[in-house]
Amino acid sequence: MNLHIDQAKRILVANDRGGYTVPTDRLYPFQWNWDSAFVAMGFALYDTDRAYRELERLVEGQWADGMIPHIVFHQPSDTYFPGPNVWRTRHTIPTSGITQPPVFAIALRKLHEATGDKTRTLPLYEAALKWHRWWYAARDPEGTGLVALLHPWESGSDNSPAWDIALARVPTTTDTPVVRKDTGHVNALMRPRNEDYQRFIHLVDTYAACDWEPARQWAKASFKVAEIQTTAILLKAGEDLEALAHEFGRMEDGSEIAALNEKTRNAILAQWRPDLSRFVSCDLVSGQDIVAPTQAGFIPLLSLDLDKAVVGALVDEMKAWSKGMKVAFPTVKPGIDSWEPKRYWRGPAWAIINWLLIDGLKRNGRVDDAEKLRKSTISAIEAEGFAEYFDPVTGEGCGGLGFSWTAAAYMWLVAS
């Protein structure tokens, strides 16, 4: 028996708060959206009932317009900022007012394939479809096929260098006192800077003043990015929703989703930049490409069947970034000015990003490269434990420890 698997399961038990899993104790004491989707896929390997429960608890926070928020505040906690009093949303259960990458439908399809349990899958499919429609209505009102983020936290890659230029336009003034709790749990050198937090909260204040109404937020947003990682995940979620629609005989749903998928597929392909050997996001305020080299540029592998030449260029670039690293894959190109291998999304390797990339490499026929990345990720976790992320240079586990999605990723990677 793999002792690390036992340990991974113990972490999920320790982080269970009654049918939902917190990412880690104290630092993140609530239910996070994409974390829970990854965790559900981990549970699906050995406890499908609990996997369903994870997703069911998440959709308790779904809004009437379809959005599934990035945080659901099921129980109070004073170890995290910003809490419900800062978000000022009007949902029955307190939630944040923004969303996160839609991994939910990807997890749901895997879970359904493991169980065939239509009774439990169908209501979650309905929730996922409603959220899918929200993405296109609220975050692509002009019908481009690329969805936009109105807050860096929506990317899941909160303080990525990808946001530096766009975020610099956001004022640092806030109506809300910024009382950080994260740096009391984790070394401040691993966390976003205070100036970033001022801007993050300025955006929260702005959207709260819009009463979280999507059209008003769109008009007021000083941060508006058509983001390649989120859009690629949305397309993979769309493929999985389309498959579920057909399985359930929902042919109209299937046609609707297929049309959205096709539009998004073409839109992502148009963001390929051969001179950079990666895909790029677009800053919708300036109209400029976001050329900061981050992991987001490789995530379209997950949802596109790409030409061999494009796949070759992407893989060669990934290898160049990983050269000399103890742990692949760094989330920022090593050596550039904004690369910080220990600071949150400014360089470390993350098991869940590797998981997405491994699936993408397999999809595009690069099985050997996927296997190398899988082994690198497993080795990092076995050497350092279930840390939030890893310093790619030294291999050190950083950020929060006893981390749920790292435990889920480990189980999934070992099983695959």
Name the residue among 26, 1, 2 with its Cα closest to residue 403: 26
In contact, 356 and 302? CB cutoff 8 Å: yes
CA distance 345 to 72: 22
Name the residue among 137, 106, 138 with its Cα closest to residue 124: 106
The token duo for 83 is 């809490």
Residue type, 107: A
Q: Which residue in 25, 158, 240, 283 is the catalytic one?
A: 158
CA distance 175 to 171: 12
User: Is 195 a residue of the active site?
Assistant: no
Phi, psi (rounded to 5 degrees) for 279: -90, 155
Task: Give SS3 for 55.
Answer: helix
Residue type, 214: P
Q: Which residue in 54, 388, 391, 396 is the catalytic one?
A: 388
Measured CA distances, 180 to 28, 30, 86, 177, 198 (Å): 13, 16, 12, 9, 10
H/E run at residue 281:
strand 281-283
Task: Give SS3 for 332.
Answer: strand
CA distance 95 to 90: 8
In contact, 398 and 348? CB cutoff 8 Å: yes
Cβ atoms within 10 A of the Cβ of 320, count? 11
DSSP letter at 291 equals: -
Measured CA distances, 58 to 16, 22, 36, 210, 218 (Å): 13, 11, 7, 24, 25
Rg over CA atoms, the chain: 20
User: Is 25 a residue of the active site?
Assistant: no
Contacts of residue 8, Cβ cutoff 8 Å, sequence gap at least 6 = 42, 386, 407, 408, 410, 411
The token duo for 76 is 């109070």
Residue type, 231: T
Contacts of residue 406, Cβ cutoff 8 Å, sequence gap at least 6 = 351, 352, 381, 386, 387, 388
Catalytic residue positions? Answer: 158, 388
